């Protein structure tokens, strides 16, 4: 990985100056990730506290999380972005759970309907590759544009179109529908 932080070993060894440099270097990365997640949910004011929680996780148990980082596998900024997003999602989930105590939910919403017989659609394992399923999920369930789906997959839009087409061919064949 090209982008690195010089001094991770010294940080893990407990060198205060290395930790300070690490914080200065990556606080903007972590803060941006957290705020991006919390802002649209109306919890932007929590961003600093959640970012602080990320730093607490990083140095907890003698920097256990940082010890698990492998520079050969991913960039440090990418790894920290994933951790920061994950922390922000956890925070939103906790806030949501706290915001609505069970007692405040009207009883009619808690009533459990008798289970209906589900319509079973059997898909043989391997009919769709994970990527094909993911492309269909992004385009139809999430209603993402091809370019957005391509960005998530890290491929060009033509690859998404091709994957989408192959997936539909397989599904048509499975459900015995005529091709084009």
Task: Note whether 69 and 58 are within 8 A (CB).
Answer: no
Binding residue for another protein, selected from 6, 9, 24, 112, defined by CB under 8 A:
24
Residue whose C-alpha is closest to residue 27's, from 5, 2, 8, 55: 55
CB of 171 to another protein, least distance (A): 4
String of contacts with another protein for each residue 146-165, x by CB under 8 A: x-x--xxxx--x---x--xx
What tokens were used for 149? 């789906």
Q: What are phi and psi of 39, to 5 degrees?
A: -55, -55
What tokens were used for 100? 């609505």
118 three-state secondary structure: coil
Q: Is 16 in the site for another protein (CB under 8 A)?
A: yes
Q: Is 12 in the site for another protein (CB under 8 A)?
A: no
Stretch that binds another protein, among 96-104, 107-115, 167-175 (CB under 8 A): 167-175
Task: Give the residue carrying structure tokens 């959640």.
Answer: 50
CB of 107 to another protein, least distance (A): 28
State in Å, rounded, how far the first CA of the chain is from the last one.
45
Please list every residue from 78 through 117 that binds another protein, using CB under 8 A: 78-79, 81-83, 85-86, 89
Stretch that binds another protein, among 98-106, 109-117, 121-129 (CB under 8 A): 121-129
Task: Note whether 58 and 65 are within 8 A (CB).
Answer: yes
Q: How many CB atoms lie within 10 A of CB 144?
A: 17
Q: Which is nearer to another protein, 106 or 118 (CB)?
A: 118
Q: Is 10 in the site for another protein (CB under 8 A)?
A: no
Determine the distance from the C-alpha atom of residue 155 to the mean position of all C-alpha atoms in its chain, rounded to a whole number. 18
Please list every residue from 26 through 55 that binds another protein, using CB under 8 A: 27-33, 36-37, 48, 51-52, 55
Q: Is 73 in the site for another protein (CB under 8 A)?
A: yes
């Amino acid at each position: 990985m090209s982008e690195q932080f010089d001094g991770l070993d010294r940080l893990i060894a407990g060198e205060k100056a290395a930790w300070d440099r690490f914080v200065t270097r990556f606080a903007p990365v972590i803060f941006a990730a957290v705020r991006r997640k919390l802002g649209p949910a109306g919890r932007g004011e929590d961003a600093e506290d959640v970012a602080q929680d990320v730093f607490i996780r990083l140095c907890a148990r003698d920097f256990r999380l940082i010890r698990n980082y492998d520079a050969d596998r991913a960039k440090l900024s990418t790894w920290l972005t994933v951790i920061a997003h994950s922390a922000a999602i956890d925070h939103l989930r906790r806030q949501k759970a706290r915001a609505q105590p069970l007692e405040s939910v009207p009883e009619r919403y808690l009533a459990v309907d008798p289970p209906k017989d589900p319509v079973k659609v059997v898909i043989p394992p391997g009919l769709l590759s994970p990527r094909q399923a993911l492309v269909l999920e992004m385009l139809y369930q999430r209603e993402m544009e091809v370019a957005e789906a391509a960005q998530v997959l890290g491929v060009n839009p033509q690859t998404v179109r091709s994957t989408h087409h192959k997936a539909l061919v397989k599904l048509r064949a499975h459900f015995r529908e005529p091709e084009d």
